[in-house]
Structure 1
């Protein structure tokens, strides 16, 4: 078994190597000692996909829930190729007539995907690190699924700041994202569409933040997971040592 002293010695030994390759080697050596199953949670745009792909580049097996949900829905809707199916646009915005029905279909597909991932986790022999890139709506899954996910993985919430709200809303209005509003989109008389979104979106985020933090084993503040010098090694160190 490798201990921290061994890792430090290896770091010194490999100083002549390219810095990028050194980080890859040290990260793999260090975290193969203790296999890590991670679930990243948070709002769309918080950085879940960014970090899950970073971890994948270091040898983690990645489950991208949005990608898997897209495949599930595409198959059920009769698409021959799932990459021709724009799942986010299909779910649409909360003021569209089809949204409620399609949002429920999305949640049903998400439940199927998570059950498949959980079944997969039970079968692995603890020989590989795994990261689950969850959807923003994971908090709306049945308690049984969330409890099992909590038992099998370390759930990490990527926190955001109130200053992110406007940026995230602008992106959402310009690029449809499958967001489950959970009855938080409530237009009022004489209110424009943009005013409704501007009022309701922060309310949705605040309601979700409470659920994310309650579900997570650990929250990572934005100044850490967005730091200019943030690396996979630092990210994993924070998770495994906190």
Structure 2
């Protein structure tokens, strides 16, 4: 089975892709690969390590747009390379099970790459209910992840930065949710995938429901 996981940063994609890897799936994690590409930049002045989220920073900080652009450029490059690999290897039968742990910003990689993602993988969307959003934002503020805001963030007159982040974060999720759902083959809701009784076999049963035929170029 060829699976791609999509959804917001913090929705559990890496957790489930790692579980799939433990069950024999070949795993590609885009954030980890981008981190490798940016390794020379992920150092503070004292040479201590900097996380990818810390490097990206918040949308109101100086240099954010340049870092956002570099991140997206690397994401597109790596996405193309991974999809080429899937086309040449998994579709040819040498790798039966592959999981692609995408970033939350996968929807910005362009229609050509997204169409290839649709053609080559079953896309599983990890939806996030509104009741969880504030907790996700709090987590983002305390432990920044590389979020691409794409111009959504702004500070209205009289707003604090935190108020602006909360309002803009909800607007960002509202917009992304529509695109994620349009892109996905199947959706697994938050409470289902976080239920302790929900096992990897249950995940795979849901992911297999679309009975998708992969359209490989190499074959």
Alignment TM-score, normalising by the size of structure 1: 0.80
Which has the larger share of helix? 1
Distance in structure 2 (CA, Å) of the matches to 1:167 and 1:174 = 11
Aligned residues: 203
Task: Tell me, yes or no, if structure 1 residue 121 matches structure 2 residue 89.
Answer: no
Q: What aligned pairs does 1:194-209 form with structure 2 within 5 A after superposition?
A: 194-209=162-177
User: Which residue is 2:213 aligned to?
Assistant: none
Distance in structure 1 (CA, Å) of the matches to 2:131 and 2:35 = 30
Partner of 1:214, secondary structure, is helix
Task: Tell me, yes or no, if structure 1 residue 146 matches structure 2 residue 114.
Answer: yes
* Residues 115, 121 of structure 1: alpha-carbon distance in 2 compared, 3 angstrom cutoff: same
Query: Residue 94 of structure 1 is aligned with which of 59, 73, 91?
Result: 59
Q: Once the 2 structures are TM-superposed, how far is the Cα of residue 78 of structure 1 from its aligned partner?
A: 9.2
**1:132-179 alpha-carbon deviations (Å, 9 max, x no partner):** 000000001111000011100001101111011100000000011110
* Residues 189, 78 of structure 1: alpha-carbon distance in 2 compared, 3 angstrom cutoff: closer
Q: Once the 2 structures are TM-superposed, how far is the Cα of residue 198 of structure 1 from its aligned partner?
A: 1.6
Q: Is the 8 A contact 2:186 2:206 kept in 1?
A: no
User: Which residue is 1:25 aligned to?
Assistant: none
**1:26-79 alpha-carbon deviations (Å, 9 max, x no partner):** xxxxxxxxxx0000000011110111000000000000100001111225x498
Q: Once the 2 structures are TM-superposed, how far is the Cα of residue 103 of structure 1 from its aligned partner?
A: 0.4
Q: Is the 8 A contact 1:73 1:109 kept in 2?
A: no
Larger CA deviation: 181-190 vs 119-128: 119-128
Distance in structure 1 (CA, Å) of the matches to 2:176 and 2:166 = 16
Q: What aligned pairs does 1:49-68 form with structure 2 within 5 A after superposition?
A: 49-68=14-33
Partner of 2:100, secondary structure, is strand
Query: Residue 181 of structure 2 is aligned with which of 203, 213, 216?
Result: 213
Q: Once the 2 structures are TM-superposed, how far is the Cα of residue 190 of structure 1 from its aligned partner?
A: 2.1
Distance in structure 1 (CA, Å) of the matches to 2:53 and 2:16 = 21
Larger CA deviation: 160-169 vs 122-131: 122-131
Q: Once the 2 structures are TM-superposed, how far is the Cα of residue 241 of structure 1 from its aligned partner?
A: 2.6
User: Which residue is 1:160 aligned to?
Assistant: 128
Distance in structure 2 (CA, Å) of the matches to 1:149 and 1:85 = 31
Partner of 2:158, secondary structure, is coil
Q: Once the 2 structures are TM-superposed, how far is the Cα of residue 123 of structure 1 from its aligned partner?
A: 1.4
Relative CO higher for 1 or 2, CA cutoff 8 Å, sep ≥ 6? 2
Task: Tell me, yes or no, if structure 1 residue 108 matches structure 2 residue 73.
Answer: yes
User: Which residue is 1:73 aligned to?
Assistant: 38
The gaps in structure 2 that reach 5 residues or longer are 211-219
Partner of 1:66, secondary structure, is helix
Q: Indicate the structure (1 or 2) with the bigger Cα radius of gyration.
A: 1
Q: Once the 2 structures are TM-superposed, how far is the Cα of residue 234 of structure 1 from its aligned partner?
A: 0.8
Distance in structure 2 (CA, Å) of the matches to 1:88 and 1:112 = 20
Partner of 1:131, secondary structure, is strand
Alignment TM-score, normalising by the size of structure 2: 0.88
Partner of 2:112, secondary structure, is helix
Distance in structure 1 (CA, Å) of the matches to 2:155 and 2:139 = 20
